[in-house]
Structure 1
Amino acid sequence: MLENILIVGAGPVGLTLACELARYGIGVRLIDRSPEPTRTSKALVVWSRTLELMDRMGCSAPFLAAGLQARGATLRSGGQVLGSARFTEIASPYPFALMIPQAETERLLTEHLAGFGVAIEREVALTDFSQTSDAVTARLLHADGREEDVATSFLIGCDGAHSRVRHGLALPFEGQAQGDEWWLADVRVAGTGAPPPDEIAVYLHRDGPLVLFPIPGGRARIVATVGAIDPDRPRPDPTLAAMQALVEARAGGGMFLSDPVWLSPFRINERKVSQYRTDRVFLAGDAAHIHSPAGGQGMNTGMQDAVNLAWKLALVLRGEAAPDLLDSYGPERNAVGAMVLRNASRLTAAATLAHPAAQAARNLALRALLGVHAVRDRMAATMSEIEIGYPDSVLSEGPGAGLRWPPEHDAGPPPGAGGAPRFVLYAEDGPESAALGARFPTLLAPEARPSPDGLLHLVRPDGYVGLSAPAGDGEKAGRYLARLVPA
């Protein structure tokens, strides 16, 4: 393997990045200060786009086997159904929300990483770092008190909302905390009032929303607001009896909670850095952006940060792409992070409206909007993240460039399977395609694939369109690839 990259934080984001780099033949050290992985459910949803990217990673099958497929979400108020969003309409091989506890996500990614011969180094903390134009020097503290200085090509902070890497860069984490206190409970739910086991159930109530997420094994996550935070009158922590009372008040009778494995208060923070990179140090996941859990986008967005960054780091470290390829990571993912933050904030604000007139207007609007097929489809597509793209990226050229390449147009193993990341040329087979492959053997997959629409497309290693051009315009494709080649 090539020289090591140091990744700080072995949650889903750090694990995804380590898996992808190892798949591309890059040496990785993955450290985490915690002595063990998370034991709680935390982030629950793996969305369609993340599952598509897991296909490219080669690890979707065990996730599908372990998870529960939620087919839709239903909004209710006062015992009446306001409307539903059906995930079955998502234009993806995975038209559902895969419900899987974060503890399982981490376990499966850890097993996938072990297949590349890489293990997490636990009880190892980053205490300091500095960088030059050539390397980053990081100081690590081990559990036995031993200190270690490590030189690495790049340092990646995947170390969460309280990121030591972000603090070391002195980057502002701009935003605010939402004013309400929330409770969560992971419990068993039974009774005639329980929603279907493959449905996310949202109950809008005058005192605040209550949401029920199904979890594999007959369990559910319940979250609810319990009012504004008052530092002078702190609330007691939630109990099973208190959660049962909340459910009865907001969702109606006939639903019985038991066997709690996690009861906790929490507060929603909405914050983001303005830059994801400082020279040889990068941020990904919660280290760069945190937001409301509405929509379940947080972990998915972070894992997609990792996929975006991994192929770029790999091509640069392998000497197959110019270092300025890395300049595209921050702008691409910063725009996505801002969009996700904005959408989650709007959903939370709408759900937590306090004035009765505003609540009534919201409910009327939801009933009308969710009665429109196109609106329901758009909502599901947004939640699934299949609409995320990079149309404004410096790597996007031509009509439709920057958009997700539909998985049904893929043929054969994804680029990077068993080796380095590669662009894929979709074009008519012929001497021009062969000439491009011969000219750029370290950037292009060995064989062109049939174009589904007669145009020429260069698809990036992460499954987004880099270039769209007229059929036979190998010259434009050549210019596109030539600007990625090291000088």
Structure 2
Amino acid sequence: MSQTTSSPADVLIVGAGPVGLSAALWLAQAGVKVRIVDRLAAPMRQSRAAIIHSRTLEHFERMGIVEDFLSAGVKVHGVNVMGEGNTTLLHPRLDKLPTAYPFMLGLDQSHTEAILARRLAGCGVRVERGTEFLAYDERDAAVSVRLRIASGGLEAASFRYVIGADGAHSAVRAAMKLQLEGETLDSVWITADVKISWERPPDELFAYLGRSGMIFIAPLNDDRWRVILNVSGMTMRDAEKLGLSEIEAIIQDRFGSRIPMYDPVWISPFGINTRLSPAMKKGRVFIAGDASHVHSPVGGQGMNTGIQDAINLSWKLASVLHGNGGEGLLSSYQIERHGNARKLLERVGPATRMADLHSSLSIEVRNHLIRFVGLVGMDNAMAETVSMLNVAYRDSAIVEEGHLGWLSGAPHAGERAPEAWGLQTRSGAHTRLHALWKGDGRFQLLIFGNALAPADLPGFVRVIRIFREGNAGDSVVIDRRGEAHKAYAVGKDGACYLIRPDGIISYRGISSDMSLLIRHLERNFGTE
């Protein structure tokens, strides 16, 4: 077999699932030369991940592609958690989430990948299919990679950085000499994508927690439903033999009534692992998504977490490649996203075990706890957690409080920048705050008050001035209803917030003194 050397690109992405495609698209939109390969000759047709949460939709809005997803998916506005006898334990609605996307979006993974791949092709980048990552060697400022291409030949190529988004059996992670550490839960699960003849609301997800097991049923695109259930006392080999009639029988036994299902497009057993790699970065090589952490599908967190890994890493890589930051910025990926993955596993693992109880006493205690959550109003907080709107990095080294102890009740550096409605633009139209930076990958500097922006701001920072009264202009919006001022707890000294490309507050301070803001930019995104 011949060996060739290709012309270098900035970043190689291994794996063309939702995580790899999201990373490739963000980088391509940022003007980074990117190459994406996948060992499979064609995209997988199984639906796999089927829920897109609010925070991911906000990221897609920032990338200018959210409408593609909204037109393809099904909006899920509520969750109906039921116990035995079809009694309702908890029925939270998502409509009050503080976002323009107060719902989950039911959309099978094959559609998600198709949308991302189509958008990526529009940027001039296509997935190289049938190309397998073999090994790498990092020296100086480059990563030398060996690939097996579709023809069977070997290729040597050099890149500035490599991202492994190649799943739980990641070849990139293996080459980094890292393993997924954790445990495999002692249970077998079945997933099926089917059509259902029933009268349930098509905009709600149903979770049934019974003595003999649990069932999740969520709406999907194309009038289908995702069904997930655990099967007790059965091996994986036995579960592989189950068909639609057997699944219907299990559900009838648990629900107490038949749910007619038909036209299955996918039925597959799976096991649940709760595992995390000890690192997500090693030199110039990174891993993201299932390559670095795997866990239960409860809550639909997996794909969403992986996409947010990809975006967190991609904007940082783009910044460094454009000369705006260094190793400290890249190291923050490990701190922020590995920390997030660890917290997620600590939450999802116990939640799965709590749902999969069998003794009468433990089930009764669990059900009382679920009802209590609803009675005291904690279901709204749970909804924000599941939707990922409260993902934050307050301990990150690259976020900073400019004036400690100021503005009681204000969002902190490291937290998601709040949304606000009713802002008047120059045309007289009203818009949302987040919509102002749709399709704009720059940092956004929000200035509340009469202070002017510093003259020496770098070009990757866009200024948006927000006043309560007056006339809107090119970089000025009017907040007559005061929603933005309230959301950002603006005081008499004004306020300034620097918003990162991933929607996280990078810096907050008072607008009457922005010297600390300049130091923050120089320290984290300069050449120091």
The answer as to 2:447 corresponding to 1:443 is no
State which of 202, 206, 210 in structure 1 corresponds to 2:207: 202
Which residue does the alignment assign to 2:385?
382
The answer as to 2:18 corresponding to 1:12 is yes
Q: Give me the TM-score of the superposition, normalised by structure 1.
A: 0.94
Which residue does the alignment assign to 2:423?
none
State which of 341, 345, 350 in structure 2 corresponds to 1:341: 345
Distance 1:339 1:240, change over 3 A: same
In the alignment, the residues of structure 1 paired with residue 450 and residue 160 of structure 2 have an alpha-carbon distance, to the nearest angstrom, of 40
Q: CA deviation at 1:429?
A: 6.7
State which of 182, 189, 196 in structure 1 corresponds to 2:189: 182
In the alignment, the residues of structure 1 paired with residue 45 and residue 433 of structure 2 have an alpha-carbon distance, to the nearest angstrom, of 37
State which of 54, 60, 67 in structure 2 corresponds to 1:54: 60
Q: CA deviation at 1:450?
A: 2.1
Aligned residue type for 2:135: D
Q: Give me the TM-score of the superposition, normalised by structure 2.
A: 0.87
Aligned residue type for 2:59: L
Query: 422-431 or 265-274, which moves further after superposition?
Result: 422-431
Q: CA deviation at 1:428?
A: 4.2
Please list the CA deviations of residues 160-189 of structure 1 after superposition, one character each: whole Å capped at 9, or x if unmatched: 000000000111211111100111111111
Please list the CA deviations of residues 280-331 of structure 1 after superposition, one character each: whole Å capped at 9, or x if unmatched: 0001110011110000010000000111111110111111223321111110
Q: Name segments (4+ residues, structure 1) moved above 3 Å.
A: 228-231, 233-236, 428-432
Any conservation in 1 of the 2:188–2:235 contact (CA below 8 Å)?
Answer: no
Any conservation in 2 of the 1:320–1:442 contact (CA below 8 Å)?
Answer: no
Distance 1:286 1:65, change over 3 A: same
Matches within 5 A, 1:80-479: 80-192=87-199, 195-228=200-233, 230=235, 234-372=238-376, 374-398=377-401, 400-408=412-420, 410=433, 413-414=436-437, 417=440, 421-428=441-448, 432-435=452-455, 439-445=456-462, 447-450=463-466, 452=485, 453=490, 454-479=494-519
Any conservation in 1 of the 2:251–2:258 contact (CA below 8 Å)?
Answer: no
Aligned residue type for 1:279: G
Any conservation in 2 of the 1:71–1:88 contact (CA below 8 Å)?
Answer: yes
Any conservation in 2 of the 1:456–1:473 contact (CA below 8 Å)?
Answer: no
Question: How many residue pairs end up in the alignment?
Answer: 476
Any conservation in 1 of the 2:61–2:439 contact (CA below 8 Å)?
Answer: no
Aligned residue type for 2:355: A
Any conservation in 2 of the 1:213–1:220 contact (CA below 8 Å)?
Answer: yes
In the alignment, the residues of structure 2 paired with residue 370 and residue 237 of structure 1 have an alpha-carbon distance, to the nearest angstrom, of 39
| SS of corresponding position for 1:89 | coil
Please list the CA deviations of residues 26-81 of structure 1 after superposition, one character each: whole Å capped at 9, or x if unmatched: 00000000111121110000000000111101100010000000111111112211
Aligned residue type for 1:427: I
In the alignment, the residues of structure 2 paired with residue 203 and residue 157 of structure 1 have an alpha-carbon distance, to the nearest angstrom, of 36
| SS of corresponding position for 1:468 | strand
Q: CA deviation at 1:117?
A: 0.8
Distance 1:412 1:382, change over 3 A: closer
Aligned residue type for 1:95: P
In the alignment, the residues of structure 2 paired with residue 482 and residue 2 of structure 1 have an alpha-carbon distance, to the nearest angstrom, of 30
Unaligned runs of 5+ in 1: none
Aligned residue type for 2:506: G
Unaligned runs of 5+ in 2: 1-6, 405-411, 421-431, 468-484
Q: CA deviation at 1:133?
A: 2.5
In the alignment, the residues of structure 2 paired with residue 411 and residue 182 of structure 1 have an alpha-carbon distance, to the nearest angstrom, of 39
In the alignment, the residues of structure 2 paired with residue 474 and residue 416 of structure 1 have an alpha-carbon distance, to the nearest angstrom, of 27
Any conservation in 1 of the 2:11–2:161 contact (CA below 8 Å)?
Answer: yes
| SS of corresponding position for 2:208 | strand
- Alpha carbon RMSD of aligned pairs, Å? 1.9
In the alignment, the residues of structure 2 paired with residue 77 and residue 448 of structure 1 have an alpha-carbon distance, to the nearest angstrom, of 50
In the alignment, the residues of structure 2 paired with residue 251 and residue 218 of structure 1 have an alpha-carbon distance, to the nearest angstrom, of 22
Which residue does the alignment assign to 2:473?
none
Any conservation in 2 of the 1:45–1:98 contact (CA below 8 Å)?
Answer: yes
Q: CA deviation at 1:3?
A: 4.0
Any conservation in 2 of the 1:426–1:457 contact (CA below 8 Å)?
Answer: yes
